[in-house]
Structure 1
Amino acid sequence: MASPAQPRGVLEGAGLFFFAFAGYARIATLAEEVTEPGRVIPRAVLVSLGVVPGVSRTTVAMARDAHLPRRLARVSGERGVPRAAELAVGVVVLVVVLVADLRGAIGFSSFGVLLYYGVANASALTLRGDWPGAPVVPALGLAGCVLLAVSLPTAAVLGGSGLLALGLVGWLLTGRRHAAG
């Protein structure tokens, strides 16, 4: 880990900050899942400072697009709660909590969040038309995400890159299978 007083230490700290940023952003996406969000969500923030599996909706979307097992796309109840996806995410989080070093898990998560925001900025670069900030803002956003991602601890960068490569291979293999089927 770099010294906090050095520029690399500042970049690493900023990259790790995205772990907290993404966690609190997930809370807002869960508002449709609860009955009294104005009362329940502030309480949930206090209770969930440990582990919050807030990626079940992404899991459902990926399962609907056949990138994950279809059974994870099922929703139940009048609110359409993705119970199978929530359970799957919860199991993954539990395994990570039990076997991973917390600092390593935070670095790995930050790498994933920065990659996610980098992809969003790269996508914004493809938009046509005259809109405020085009194309400077998404270009700066993409460059910032890449800079912060590669400034994270080496294990987080290597682990995140390895998982990304594994996912790409899986996507290519399943993509060919779906195209042929």
Structure 2
Amino acid sequence: MLSRDLSLQALFGELVDRAFALSLRWDDRQVMRYLTNLLTEFAHIDSLYRLHDLNGRPLQEVAEMLYYADIRLGAQSFYQEREVHRHIGDFTLFWTGVYPEALPKLRASLRKDHLIDYVKQGKESYRLVSLFDIGEWREEAPMFRRLSENFEVAMQGLYAVRQMWEQMAQESFLRFRKQVEGF
């Protein structure tokens, strides 16, 4: 699995580089590394739902995550508050950028996330993460500020990454089909 992840990370790194540095002209290497790692991590669906409630049940909605992101409610420490907000930022950026067509289902009327604006919440969560600018978090805090301020650009870049990988998959399938059919 490790070598597959490294290959996947290399693929995502190349696609992120093309989408962000070349197409969008946002050549922020720290952000690009972060987004490459995010895509690699979220390729494993269990990483999307890595947060759990006190009963061990995966948190599948932002509304549930917000409870555990507040020290006055469910967060047991400031570290947990920061990590949950980071995950909320990642989660909302992933869905709004990579799979925006899933948003109507994620925010359906009977779901807790019905009234949550994923873009607004993602920006706010990354902004809150950026406020933790001490100790081990000092160096990456400004990056989260940039992600908050450029959330929509990051969404656009991630969608471009998805389009590129889908095109690569289609081209690969067509090459395979030609070989199988003898063309």
Taking structure 1 as the reference length, what is the TM-score of the superposition?
0.26
Relative contact order, higher structure (CA 8 A, sep 6+): 1
